[in-house]
């Protein structure tokens, strides 16, 4: 029997309205509504079109999906920390929330084979919340202090940020990369079962800008737990964004160490003077100058001249070293799958059968390149040979 909620979930996951899907299927919008609400079942011809559109098996539509099997919604859409441009896009918000629901449900499946140590990002968040609630200092000072607490707790060190993504994943963050549009650099949220997610856009970015995105989203996760972002007015939303930016700058460029480095610069108002510092901290030249200005290391006139030169040299679009420093990609879930597949705790074939999806669906959902899955696909297609008999001839 056709399960309408399964179609609803996967349609929203892909960001399609009923009207858009109806046009792709060459049927009426009303027919899609009837399928989803149990008033009519699609013909086999329509099922075949749908499975090709979504990258799933035909039986996917006749079974409960992993969201329904999960039993409850573990993602509150209002808690997703977006940039302002997409806050009012209900369709986009719904689609991204559904994406996190699918990821969370997928992780629950593979985690049945695993044991995790306690999530240190959760421990850190509670530590930060306790500090914020008990401190009487002004908000800006508290955010600077929270960034310092976070950097020390996560064991990032005070010499570079080159391993930031790796350390966040190691400490408990679940970080993914996907196409989320030109207007969204990244977003973050806590699932209802206390899992910290960071979603990064996959548009070509520099390592320095990626680090800032990571630190910005970490700021939201630690400072803005349970904030209902979708219900905020523009002014309040801007304030939360400014707090996340302040946290990111303080987290990436610790005051003491950065001040010492900055004092060695000869021409503080020249963007090119910051290139060696960028190589060390993997933070953009623009962000370093802003941090220096906010710490009182760069006065207004010099900072103004710096920005004029930054514009003239085209560095607001592309900076020196942007092409040279490697952009790190999320690797935790990929490594988990590799462990499960290589040690035969789980096979790719069994996983695809369980999810009732094609490998392309899994690749897109997880943001893991198809090349990774090819090795395990080849094992699925392996033909039986005489060598497999393990026989000896007398």
Please provide the average confidence, as pLDDT, over all residues in the chain.
92
Report the alpha-carbon distance of residue 265 to residue 267 in Å, rounded: 6
Q: What are the counts of helices (DSSP H) followed by strands (DSSP E) for the chain?
A: 19, 3
Instruction: Provide the pLDDT confidence category of residue 203 given band limits of 50, 70 and 90.
Output: confident
- Among 32-41, 203-212, 293-302, 324-333, which stretch is predicted with the lowest mean pLDDT? 203-212
Q: Above pLDDT 90, what percent of the chain?
A: 80
Task: Give the per-residue pLDDT at 390.
Answer: 54
Q: 76 or 164: which carries more pLDDT confidence?
A: 164
Supply the angle between the helices 348-355 and 370-380 in degrees, to the nearest 10.
100
pLDDT value of position 72: 61
For the chain, the farthest-separated pair of C-alpha atoms sits apart, in whole angstroms, at 91
The reported pLDDT for the residue numbered 277 is 98
Q: Average the pLDDT over 339-353 and give the result.
A: 95
User: What's the pLDDT score for residue 382?
Assistant: 55
pLDDT digits (tens, 9 = 90+) for 172-192: 999 999 988 777 789 999 999
pLDDT higher at 278 or 382: 278
pLDDT at 337 over 80: yes
Read off the pLDDT band of 112 (50, 70, 90).
Answer: confident
Cβ–Cβ < 8 Å for 191, 75 = yes
Could you give all domains of the chain from N- to C-terminal order, each with its CATH number?
Answer: 1-64 (1.10.260.40), 73-252 (no CATH), 258-329 (no CATH), 349-389 (no CATH)
Q: Assess contact for 198 and 210: CB atoms under 8 A.
A: no
Give me the DSSP letters along 188-250: EEE-TTS-EEEEEE-S---HHHHHHHHHHHHHHHHH-TT--GGG--HHHHHHHHHHHHHHHHH
> Is residue 381's pLDDT more than 70?
no
Span 321-335, pLDDT tens digits: 999 999 999 999 999
The tokens of 290 are what?
């802003």
Q: How is residue 166 annotated by DSSP?
A: H
140 vs 37: CA distance, rounded Å:
50
Residue 217 in contact with residue 188, Cβ under 8 Å?
yes
Measured torsion, CA atoms of residues 253, 186, 162, 264, in degrees rounded to the nearest 10:
-30
């Amino acid at each position: 029997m056709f399960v309408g909620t399964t179609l609803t979930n996967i349609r929203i996951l892909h960001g399609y309205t009923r009207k858009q899907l109806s046009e792709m299927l060459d049927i009426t919008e009303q027919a899609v509504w009837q399928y989803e609400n149990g008033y009519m079942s699609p013909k086999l011809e329509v099922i075949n079109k749908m499975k090709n559109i979504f990258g799933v098996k035909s039986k996917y539509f006749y079974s409960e999906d992993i969201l329904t099997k999960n039993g409850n919604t573990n993602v509150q859409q209002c808690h997703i920390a977006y940039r302002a441009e997409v806050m009012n896009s209900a369709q986009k918000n719904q689609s991204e929330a559904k994406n996190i629901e699918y990821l969370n449900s997928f992780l629950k499946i593979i985690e049945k084979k695993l044991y995790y140590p306690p999530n240190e990002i959760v421990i850190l968040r509670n530590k930060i919340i306790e500090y914020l609630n008990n401190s009487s200092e002004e908000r800006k000072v508290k955010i600077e202090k929270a960034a310092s607490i976070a950097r020390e707790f996560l064991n990032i060190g005070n010499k570079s940020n080159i391993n930031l993504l790796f350390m966040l994943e190691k400490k408990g963050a679940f970080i993914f990369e996907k196409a989320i549009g030109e207007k969204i650099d990244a977003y973050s949220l806590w699932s209802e079962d206390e899992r910290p997610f960071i979603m990064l856009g996959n548009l070509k970015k520099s390592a320095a800008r990626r680090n800032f995105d990571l630190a910005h989203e970490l700021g939201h996760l630690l400072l803005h737990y349970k904030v209902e972002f979708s219900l905020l007015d523009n002014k309040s939303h801007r304030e939360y964004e400014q707090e996340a930016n302040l946290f990111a700058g303080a987290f990436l460029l610790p005051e003491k160490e950065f001040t010492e480095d900055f004092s060695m610069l000869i021409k503080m108002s020249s963007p090119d003077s910051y290139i060696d510092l960028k190589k060390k901290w993997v933070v953009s030249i623009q962000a370093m100058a802003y941090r220096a200005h906010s710490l009182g290391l760069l006065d207004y006139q010099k900072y103004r001249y710096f920005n004029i030169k930054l514009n003239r040299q085209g560095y607001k679009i592309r900076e020196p070293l942007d092409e040279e420093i490697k952009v790190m990609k999320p690797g935790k879930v990929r490594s988990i799958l590799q462990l499960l597949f290589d040690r035969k705790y789980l096979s790719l074939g069994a996983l695809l059968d369980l999810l009732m999806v094609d490998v392309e669906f899994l690749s897109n959902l997880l943001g893991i390149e198809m090349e990774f899955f090819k090795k395990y696909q080849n094992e699925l297609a392996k033909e039986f040979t005489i060598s497999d008999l393990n026989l000896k001839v007398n």
